Amino acid sequence: MPVVTYISHDGAINEIEVASGTSVMQGAVDNMIDGIVAECGGSCSCATCHCYIDEAWLDKVPPASEMEKDMLECVLEPEDNSRLSCQITVTDELDGLVVKLPASQF
């Protein structure tokens, strides 16, 4: 099973096995990782699952939709590597993915 590493804002590292086909957000929620809120349950409606993709993985993650891009411009402290984790589906190709979580989702 692919492994995703979640690095919390305080530096805590969680290496989690996330089944292919599951979103990066769901992997965090399933494992009760604090930094992801995911109020809308993954329908790209709330931007409370914001994460930063580790630079090494940027070109391997499929690009964001227009809707997601629009939402990302409004999150707290957006960066070029900002994504909504509900919109990233884990695949075998993403085994080893590293994401960093923001200080706050609100």
- Which of these ranges, 3-11, 37-45, 54-62, 85-93, lies near other proteins under the rule CB under 8 A? 37-45
Nearest approach in angstroms of CB 57 to other proteins is 25
34 binds other proteins (CB under 8 A): yes
**How are beta strands 13-17 and 3-7 bridged, if at all?**
antiparallel
104 binds other proteins (CB under 8 A): no
Alpha-carbon distance 67 to 99, whole Å? 21
Site size with other proteins, rule: CB under 8 A: 20
CB-hemisphere CA count at 13 Å for 27? 29
Q: Which residues bind other proteins (CB under 8 A)?
A: 29-32, 34, 37, 39-41, 43-47, 67, 70-71, 73-75
